[in-house]
């Protein structure tokens, strides 16, 4: 299905929905969208609402120059190029093709293990942020069992679980080990419930794993004010950045919530912003302060008028 008749901002929303349909985690989708945002901003600066092949070529040329001049690293350059190519493919063909399939795993499982894994993932309800983690742990565990000579769950017990956890301990951080223990516990609760395991192994899997937590020092208010004040608000891109910065600094919104904010989330009459937090799924009602309200109005009037997505 050709998507060219849609404006580029609308295409960006559709691209996000296509990634979501293919099972990509929200943080992956946001990263991919951030890679495409400079291309969208280039179109806005040139006053073009439709995807233009010439601007795409210009963007790719300047991006290659930045990489060759050492201004950006290879990993980021590769991500930019891949995501722009995927976005253009979506515009012209209506679909997105990733080498990593929606299964989200590079592990090859036996037919019986694959069937069990699919049944578990379909049976259980996961938050989008944790679904891929559950898939990764399940596939890793079943792939390890296959390497040990098992084709199904027959004969699997606490001894095999212990050996797998020891194996993980030798190559994982404490945070990853925490996820492995957590999702193995959920997996075996499902296996016991569906009569595929003789035990839940809940006591065995109740050991404590201390997670590493990085606590970053807050930016001093003076430096924060300098960053916000340095934004060029005479351009559409600057108005967008200024509004996004205020949403983060005034309300403490996460980047994923700022990126997902819609016009319908803003209750101008009552002076409130109402949204569902992406990470927790909990609703939040925030007072629409005068400075944030003015920044949003300025951006809406000059940049994002007549479309649903706010930022």
The domains located in the chain, with CATH, are 8-93 (1.10.150), 111-193 (1.10.150), 221-302 (1.10.443.10)
Question: Residue 267 corresponds to which tokens in the numbers above?
Answer: 């209750």
pLDDT at 2: 44
Give, in order, the Cα–Cα distances in Å from 122 to each of 23, 28, 47, 55, 310.
12, 21, 45, 42, 33
Give, in order, the Cα–Cα distances in Å from 203 to each of 26, 133, 179, 189, 199.
32, 22, 17, 12, 10
H/E stretch holding 274 reads strand 272-276
Where do the H-state alpha helices sit in the chain? 8-21, 26-45, 53-68, 74-93, 111-123, 128-147, 158-169, 174-193, 221-229, 236-251, 255-260, 290-302
Mean pLDDT by 10 residues, the chain (311 residues): 60 80 74 86 85 87 86 84 85 62 60 91 74 86 92 90 89 81 93 93 84 64 78 86 88 86 88 86 88 88 56 54
Question: Residue 78 corresponds to which tokens in the numbers above?
Answer: 């590769």
Would you say the pTM of this structure is higher than 0.75? no
pLDDT at 116: 93
pLDDT at 100: 43
pLDDT at 103: 42
Give the burial class of 101: count Cβ atoms within 10 A of its Cβ; 0-12 exposed, 13-18 middle, 19 or more buried.
exposed
pLDDT at 307: 42
Strands 283-287 and 272-276: antiparallel
Query: 70's torsion region: left (phi>0), alpha (psi -120 to 50) or beta?
Result: left
pLDDT at 203: 86
Residues in the chain, total: 311
């Amino acid at each position: 299905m050709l998507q060219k008749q849609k404006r580029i901002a609308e295409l960006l929303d559709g691209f996000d929905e296509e990634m979501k349909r293919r099972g990509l985690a929200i943080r992956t989708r946001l990263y991919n969208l951030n890679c495409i945002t400079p291309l969208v901003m280039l179109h806005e600066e040139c006053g073009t609402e439709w995807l233009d092949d010439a601007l795409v070529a210009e963007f790719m040329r300047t991006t290659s120059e930045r990489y060759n001049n050492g201004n950006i690293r290879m990993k980021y350059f590769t991500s930019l190029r891949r995501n722009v190519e995927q976005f253009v493919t979506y515009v012209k063909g209506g679909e997105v093709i990733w080498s990593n399939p929606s299964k989200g795993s590079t592990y090859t499982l036996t037919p019986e293990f694959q069937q069990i894994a699919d049944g578990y993932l379909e049976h259980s309800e996961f938050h989008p942020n944790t679904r891929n983690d559950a898939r990764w742990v399940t596939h890793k565990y079943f792939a390890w069992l296959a390497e040990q000579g098992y084709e199904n769950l027959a004969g699997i017990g606490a001894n095999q679980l212990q050996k797998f956890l020891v194996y993980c301990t030798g190559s994982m951080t404490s945070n990853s080990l925490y996820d492995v223990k957590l999702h193995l516990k959920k997996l075996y609760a499902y296996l016991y419930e569906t009569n595929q395991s003789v035990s839940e192994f809940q006591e065995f899997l109740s050991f404590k794993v201390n997670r590493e937590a990085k606590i970053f020092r807050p930016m001093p208010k003076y430096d924060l004010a300098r960053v916000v004040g340095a934004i060029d608000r005479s351009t559409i891109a600057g108005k967008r950045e200024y509004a996004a910065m205020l949403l983060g600094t005034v309300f403490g919104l996460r980047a994923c919530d700022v990126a997902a904010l819609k016009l319908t989330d803003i209750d101008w009459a009552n002076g409130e912003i109402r949204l569902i937090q992406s990470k927790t799924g909990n609703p939040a009602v925030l007072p629409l302060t005068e400075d944030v309200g003015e920044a949003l109005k300025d951006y809406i009037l000059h940049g994002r008028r007549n479309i649903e997505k706010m930022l």
